[in-house]
């Protein structure tokens, strides 16, 4: 086994892990604060990818077309997230878990078909700008240069979220809400507004992730289905509501996937589910979560 | 007593129906029966035990594959295949359920989902044994059951027998223990009931009936594919149960009738079936919690409370039938 192959595989696992982190962090945040497991998270991520394609298609003449479209797509998704929150999610705050789960599952079907109606069934491909189209060489090992973009975006979002949660007043409120919503609302903080903010933030990150994903390969219908289950696995492994846990969990899943492709290709996904099941059984609250809420 | 009349009427209708409809609708009826049994088995976990399983298709798929493999590779007679499917699905539910019943709520849902996907990927990747994503073709039922009507009556007998079995279980002390666990786990534990063992037994029974439903699917469809185990397939009984009403014994069956008829009807002129069912589910969740039967019961109760009350016991308690209690 060649060392350069291992390093290349490690980098590809890292970029995959970072993509999973971008999806799972929003998922984990929304679940941690609102106690709603958003099945439609990856479907909205896919909407982000398609939006990015459309913006890029309009702007492709300009030099910064792709980068501007990524930003626009993320903002568009934040707006969509806000609309969904106000119209649908707000109505099921105090419903039972199965009903909330079903509502977001129904959203998967609805949004999935709306994507089909809007963008059609054929695959969409974004032609990358020169800056990220060729390979770059790390210790003479050729790597896809776009991997670096994905990893950088992942790291910046991780740092940004960490700063937000640790250093700002709103971040403190969100962290407090993860532990006890009753206490936060007793302090006179309007919980519904916090919920809306968290949901919009989560969908914004998902949209950003989708837009960043768009130039990686072709954008295909149904891409969201495989990724949402893996994002669940990440959140379970890391622990609901824990940012560090989500980061570690996504790197674990990304690397397990990348290396099992190398050594045991049939078992790549099986292995991820086994790891998830073991963690759920031994430590249901995940590696970094706290066993507070039952 | 009044319910008995209803049941008899429904029974006569389902006996006559295939004789007056075309072959296409007979196929839809068979699908309703099979998926209805699948949904009823799911509701043993959801309705009685109060836990949402998102990987119930695993046992359905395992049952389908057990029958499919035995028939294609071993030419084993169908009745033995059905029995084998129930045993294999039950064993599967025993092994995986052992872990699942340790968790509740969202963790239960995700673990069942993860196990379901695990089974799916095993079947998907194990080319030499299961045929991978090519699935299994040529699952031909025995000669007597080759016509659509014959297979319909065969399915009807098995599904009705299975539903009666589920009904008996739900009305047994065991069934009431499950309701107690759903309503108040802590208190039930204090009475001295081994919660996990009861939940596991229930999980296994649900898996056995899901396996039976899956076993009926293969010979009906003449082929099976690993898609039968995905989480989309697991979503179908959830949808049916929610549409029909989880707190009524007939809820899953009613849901299956509505869901399957609608699907057969809607897919006739549009490919956007997911959009349609998604909107329906959204409306049910937002405006009609308790499903169609829940709504009916509420209306009947309102209607009765307006009428002069001759028999108060009958009006308050008599109507709450099935799982809800």
Residue A48 within any structural domain of the chain = yes
* Nearest-by-Cβ selection for B281 from A95, A102, A117: A102
Q: Which tens digits make up the pLDDT trace of B141-179?
A: 888 888 888 899 999 999 999 999 999 999 999 999 999
pLDDT at residue B33, rounded to an integer: 94
Is residue A149 in some structural domain?
A: yes
- Count the domains in chain A: 1
Flag if B282 and A88 touch (Cβ within 8 Å).
Answer: yes
Cβ-defined contact of A110 to B113 (cutoff 8 Å): no
The enclosing H or E element of B223 equals: strand B223-224
Residues in A whose CB is inside 8 Å of some CB of B read 31, 37, 88, 91-92, 95, 97-99, 101-103, 105-110, 112-114, 116-117, 225, 229, 232-233, 236, 266-267, 269-270, 273-274, 276-277, 280-281, 284, 294
CB of B318 less than 8 A from some CB of A: no
Could you report the per-residue pLDDT of B68-115, keeping only the tens digit for each? 999 988 888 889 999 999 999 999 999 999 999 888 888 888 889 989
What does the CA dihedral B293, B296, B298, B302 come to, rounded to 10 degrees?
-170
Mean pLDDT of B191-212: 93
In a mutational test of the B interface, the residue from A36, A104, A109, A118 whose CB has the highest number of chain B CBs within 10 Å is A109
A131-138's contacts with Cβ under 8 Å and 24+ in sequence apart are A132/A215, A138/A7, A138/A11
Residues 6 or more apart from A39 whose CB is under 8 A from it? A101, A104, A105, A107, A108, A228
Residue A253: inside a domain, yes or no?
Answer: no
Task: Looking at the complex, report in whole angstroms how far the Cα of residue B17 sits from the nearest Cα belonging to chain A.
Answer: 32
Q: Would you say residue B306 has pLDDT above 60?
A: no
Residue A1 has a pLDDT of 61
**Inter-chain contact B272–A91, Cβ cutoff 8 Å?**
no
**Contact (CB, 8 A) for B252 and B244:** yes
Neighbouring C-alpha atoms within 13 Å toward the C-beta of A2 = 5
- In chain A, which ranges are E strands? 135-138, 141-144
Residue pair A97/A235 in contact by the 8 Å Cβ criterion: no
Q: Residue A129 — left, alpha, or beta (φ > 0 → left; ψ -120 to 50 → alpha)? A: beta
Instruction: Please judge whether A99 and B282 are an interchain contact, meaning their C-beta atoms are less than 8 angstroms apart.
Output: no
Chain B, window 12-71: residues with a beta carbon less than 8 angstroms from a chain A beta carbon? 46, 52, 54
Residues spanned by the domain of A184: 15-218
How much is the pLDDT for B132? 79
Q: Indicate if the pLDDT at residue B7 is higher than 90.
A: no
What topology is assigned to B24-318 in CATH?
Answer: ABC transporter involved in vitamin B12 uptake, BtuC (1.10.3470)
Identify all chain B residues contacting A106, using CB atoms and an 8 Å cutoff. Answer: 277-279, 281-282, 285
Kindly list the residues from chain B whose CB atom is less than 8 angstroms away from the CB atom of residue A294: 104-105
**In chain B, what residues touch A269 (CB-CB under 8 Å)?**
117, 121
The answer to the question of residue A273 being in a domain is: no
Query: Burial, A141: exposed, middle or buried (Cβ in 10 Å; 0-12, 13-18, 19+)?
Result: middle
Which of B46, B106, B275 lies closest to A113 in CB terms?
Answer: B275
Sequence spans of domains, chain B: 24-318
B277 vs A contacts (CB less than 8 Å)? 106, 109
Model pLDDT for residues A27-78, shown as the tens digit of each residue: 988 888 888 888 899 999 999 999 999 988 888 777 777 888 899 999 999 9
Contacts of residue B322, Cβ cutoff 8 Å, sequence gap at least 6: B170, B247, B248, B249, B250, B251
Using a CB–CB cutoff of 8 Å, tell me whether B277 touches chain A: yes
Residue A158 lies in a domain: yes
> Do the bridges between strand A141-144 and strand B136-137 make them parallel or antiparallel, or are there none, so unpaired?
unpaired
Alpha carbon of B296: minimum distance to chain A alpha carbons (Å): 19
Measure B161 CA to nearest chain A CA, in Å.
Answer: 29
Here the ipTM equals 0.84
- What is the rounded distance in angstroms from the CA atom of residue B284 to the CA atom of residue B243? 7
- A167 alpha carbon, distance to own chain's centre: 23
By CB atoms closer than 10 A (0-12, 13-18, 19+), residue A29 is buried
Q: Average of pLDDT values for B199-211?
A: 95
Q: Which pLDDT band holds residue B316 (cuts at 50, 70, 90)?
A: very low
**CB atoms A92 and B235 under 8 Å:** no
Beta-carbon separation of B278 and A113 below 8 A: yes
Give pLDDT, residue A291: 63
The percent of residues above 90 in pLDDT, for chain B, comes to 40
Please name the residue of chain B whose CA is at the shortest distance from the CA of residue A35: B106
pLDDT per position as a tens digit, A140-166: 777 778 888 888 999 999 999 999 988
The 10s digit of each residue's pLDDT in A162-183 is: 999 888 988 888 888 877 778 8
B264 close to A (CB below 8 A): no
Residue B82 has a pLDDT of 93
Question: Cβ–Cβ of B274/A110 closer than 8 Å?
Answer: yes
Chain A residues closer than 8 Å to B99 by CB: 277, 280-281
pLDDT confidence of residue B304: 61
- pLDDT exceeds cutoff 60 at B281: yes
- Rounded distance, CA A271 to CA A252, Å? 11
| Chain B positions in Cβ-Cβ contact with residue A105 (cut-off 8 Å) | 235, 238, 281
pLDDT at B254 over 70: yes
- Which is higher by pLDDT, A291 or A136? A136
pLDDT over threshold 50, residue B322: no
CB contact under 8 A, B115 and A108: no
- Give the pLDDT confidence score for residue A182 in this predicted structure: 82
Per-residue model confidence (pLDDT) at position B1: 56
Average confidence score pLDDT of chain A: 86
Taking residues B51-79, report their average pLDDT: 91
User: What mean pLDDT do residues B39-66 have?
Assistant: 92
Residue A21, pLDDT > 80, answer yes
Residue B279 C-alpha, separation from nearest chain A C-alpha, in angstroms: 7
Taking an 8 Å cut-off on Cβ atoms, the answer to whether A107 and B278 are in contact is yes
Give per-residue pLDDT as tens, A221-278: 888 888 888 898 898 888 877 888 899 999 999 998 888 888 887 777 788 888 888 8
């Amino acid at each position: 086994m060649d060392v350069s192959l291992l390093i290349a595989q490690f980098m590809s696992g890292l970029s995959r892990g970072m993509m999973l982190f971008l999806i799972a962090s929003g998922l984990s945040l929304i679940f941690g604060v609102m106690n709603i497991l958003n099945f439609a998270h990856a479907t909205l991520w896919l909407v982000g990818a398609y939006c990015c394609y459309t913006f890029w298609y309009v702007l492709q003449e300009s030099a910064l077309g792709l980068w501007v479209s990524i930003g626009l797509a993320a903002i568009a998704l934040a707006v969509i997230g806000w609309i969904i929150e106000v119209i649908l999610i707000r109505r099921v705050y105090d419903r039972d878990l199965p009903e909330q789960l079903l509502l977001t599952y129904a959203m998967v079907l609805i949004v999935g078909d709306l994507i089909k109606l809007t963008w059609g069934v054929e695959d969409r491909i974004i032609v990358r700008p020169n800056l990220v189209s060729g390979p770059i060489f790390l210790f003479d090992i050729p790597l896809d240069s776009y991997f670096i973009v994905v990893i950088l975006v992942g790291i910046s979002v991780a740092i940004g979220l960490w700063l937000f949660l640790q250093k700002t007043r709103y971040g403190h409120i969100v962290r407090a809400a993860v532990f006890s919503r009753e206490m936060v609302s007793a302090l006179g903080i309007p919980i519904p507004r916090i919920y809306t903010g968290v949901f919009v933030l989560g969908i914004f990150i998902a949209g950003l992730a989708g837009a960043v994903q768009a130039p990686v390969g072709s954008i295909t219908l149904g891409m969201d289905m495989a990724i949402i289950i893996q994002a669940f696995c990440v959140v379970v492994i890391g622990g609901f509501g824990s940012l560090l846990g989500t980061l570690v969990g996504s790197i674990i899943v990304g690397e397990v996937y990348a290396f099992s492709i190398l050594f045991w290709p049939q078992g790549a996904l099986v292995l991820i589910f086994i790891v998830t099941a073991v963690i759920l059984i031994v430590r249901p609250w995940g590696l970094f979560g706290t066993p507070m809420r039952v | 007593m009044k319910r008995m009349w209803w049941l008899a009427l429904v029974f006569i209708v389902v006996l006559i129906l295939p004789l007056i409809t075309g072959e296409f609708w007979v196929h839809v009826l068979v699908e309703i029966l099979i998926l209805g049994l699948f949904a009823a088995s799911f509701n043993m976990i959801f309705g009685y035990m109060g836990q949402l399983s998102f990987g119930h298709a695993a046992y359905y798929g395992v049952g389908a594959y057990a029958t499919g493999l035995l028939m294609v590779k071993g030419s084993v007679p169908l009745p033995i295949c059905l029995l084998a499917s129930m045993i294999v699905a039950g064993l599967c539910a025993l092994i995986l359920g052992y872990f699942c019943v340790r968790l509740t709520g969202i963790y239960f849902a995700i673990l069942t989902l993860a196990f379901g996907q695990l089974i799916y990927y095993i079947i998907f990747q194990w080319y030499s044994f299961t045929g991978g994503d090519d699935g299994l073709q040529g699952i031909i039922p025995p000669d007597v059951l080759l016509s659509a009507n014959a297979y319909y009556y065969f399915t009807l007998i098995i599904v009705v027998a299975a539903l009666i079995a589920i009904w008996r279980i739900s009305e047994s002390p065991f069934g009431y223990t499950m309701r107690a666990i759903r309503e108040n786990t802590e208190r039930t534990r204090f009475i001295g009931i081994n919660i996990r063992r009861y939940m596991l037994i229930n999980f296994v029974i649900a898996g056995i009936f899901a396996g039976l439903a899956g076993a009926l699917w293969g010979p009906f469809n003449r082929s099976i594919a690993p898609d039968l185990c995905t989480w989309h397939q697991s979503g179908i009984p959830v949808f049916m149960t929610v549409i029909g009403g989880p707190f009524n014994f007939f809820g899953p069956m009613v849901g299956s009738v509505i869901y399957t008829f609608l699907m057969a009807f809607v897919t006739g002129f549009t490919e956007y079936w997911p959009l349609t069912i998604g909107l329906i589910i959204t409306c049910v969740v937002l405006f009609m919690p308790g499903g169609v039967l829940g709504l009916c019961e509420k209306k009947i109760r309102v209607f009765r409370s307006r009428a002069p009350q001759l028999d108060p016991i009958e009006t308050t308690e008599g109507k709450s039938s099935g799982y809800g209690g």
